[in-house]
Structure 1
Amino acid sequence: MLNKYYPSREFKALLFDFDGTVADTMGVHLAAWNHGLSIYNLTLSREQHLAWAGRPTRMIVQMLNELHKVDIPVDEFLKAKEVNYFASVHEVKEIVSVVEIIKHYHGKIPMAIVTGSRHKPVETTLSHLGLTKYFDHLVCAEDYVHGKPAPDCFLRAAELLNVRPEDCLVFEDAALGIEAAKNAGMACLKVDDRHELMVVEF
């Protein structure tokens, strides 16, 4: 299937961003953000949410604090946002074009989720979608210090899978994630707004 995009390359690992790449979670996440922010009389626009996609939630709360000169307690907010997200997780659907690739290469090429989301929401959503078994590792926000566009998360996944970075193919929907893939020295396929795949030229 990947020969369509890279006819002359063979990859040894496939690394998938999660939100907006494997699972169509962005609407549910945005609603959870705004439910939590409402008590501070703040809102997060869809455009801002998409622009910050890929950053760990903790970092986004800190950025909101700086932007709006408020003091949202990070850990408390994270817990509340996750409760709101879990209440609507049944609304999340898989992104078919990407999941077809995941299922096709399962057992043939090792795969990992690499995300700015925390373990619990990712694990809960994978379970809801029946996709848990397809991934060898989950690299989530708790597993690295520097978020996308830093390459740390992708390099950590390559290390866990015992594969050289240049032998990894990344699937990403967000600009920050694509930049992180570039910084990690990895090839990248972008998942666009229509959930179609396109090669990213660096």
Structure 2
Amino acid sequence: MIEIPKRAKGLIFDLDGTVANTMQSHFEAWRTAVAPFGIDFTPELFLTLTGMPKAATIIKLNESFGTDMNTDEVGKAKAKVYKELVTKTQEIKVVTNVVRKYHGKLPMSIGTGSTQIGAQRTLSILGMKHYFNPIITADDVMNFKPAPDTFLKCAELMGVAPKDCVVFEDGILGIQAAEAVGMMVVDVNDYFEMKFTV
């Protein structure tokens, strides 16, 4: 069981790979979308990009591989594959146990690099939408993880000082974002091992 610090006054959860076990689906969707451009999309590469919105991921891949992928076209190709896979999403129990334990006791929010539509769909599949308010996504901020804007907006709307928030994250960019503004961090990787099938 994950224990949270006693001084915590608000909980912020990343979504993909933290609350929802969607990472295999995201990985397969990206791998399929970028394969025509000769990119070997490995699990290791994927882990360096988690937490970034689609367009930012494609721009980063273009920089890394010297490709000229169109962000709209490749983003749509990725989304199409992911939409077929996401219905199989399971919750990550070690984290959702915390959500259920503190529901009604502490304010809880989602801070994700996903879109609002994507986040709402994932939470609906899990039947967990009602636990979180607000749900802050890539549609709601200008600067994405590792910038702390997503988490700061969560804290502000929950009415909790950043230093009193605990962020649950699986991605390095999200962990950096939380630590940058003095938030407490639970690295979900310490409790749940993500396995990828290639």
Q: TM-score, normalised by structure 2?
A: 0.91
Q: Which has the higher strand share?
A: 1
User: 2:89 & 2:45 partners in 1: Cα distance?
Assistant: 21
CA distance in 1, matches of 2:73, 2:120: 20
Match of 1:41 in 2: 38
Q: Which residues in structure 2 correspond to 1:110-125 (within 5 Å)?
A: 110-125=107-122
* Local SS of the residue matching 1:43: coil
Residue 65 (structure 1) shift: 1.2
Residue 195 of structure 1 deviates from its aligned partner by: 1.4
Question: How many Å apart are 1:85 and its aligned residue?
Answer: 0.7
8 Å Cα contact 1:82/1:121 also seen in 2: no
1:10 is displaced (CA, Å) by: 2.7
Q: Contact 2:168/2:187 (CA < 8 Å) preserved in 1?
A: yes
Q: From 18, 28, 34, give the equivalent of 1:31.
A: 28
2:27 alignment partner, SS class? helix
Name the count of aligned residue pairs.
193
1:171 and 1:188 in contact (8 A); partners too: yes
Structure 2, unmatched stretches of 5+, are 194-198
Amino acid aligned to 1:114: G
Q: How does 1:61-76 map to 2 (within 5 A)?
A: 61-76=58-73
The aligned residue for residue 75 of structure 2 is 78
- Is structure 2 residue 163 aligned with structure 1 residue 166? yes
Q: Distance in 2 between matches of 1:64 and 1:88?
A: 23
> How many angstroms does 1:42 deviate by?
2.3
TM-score by length of 1: 0.89
Residue 88 of structure 1 corresponds to 85
CA distance in structure 2 between the partners assigned to 1:34 and 1:48 by the alignment: 10
Show the counterpart of 2:196.
Answer: none
Q: Structure 1: which 4+ aligned runs deviate by more than 4 Å? A: none
Distance in 1 (alpha carbons) for counterparts of 2:22 and 2:72: 21
Return the alpha-carbon distance in structure 1 between the equivalents of residues 100 and 75 of structure 2. Answer: 32
Distance 2:114 2:175 in 1: 16
Which residue, 102, 105, 111 being the options, matches 2:102? Answer: 105
State which of 52, 55, 59 in structure 2 corresponds to 1:55.
52
Segments of 5+ residues of structure 1 without an aligned counterpart are 197-202
Partner of 1:200: none
RMSD over aligned CA atoms reads 1.7
| Percent identity (aligned) | 41
Is contact 1:15-1:114 (8 Å) kept?
Answer: yes
Give 1:5 deviation, angstroms.
4.3
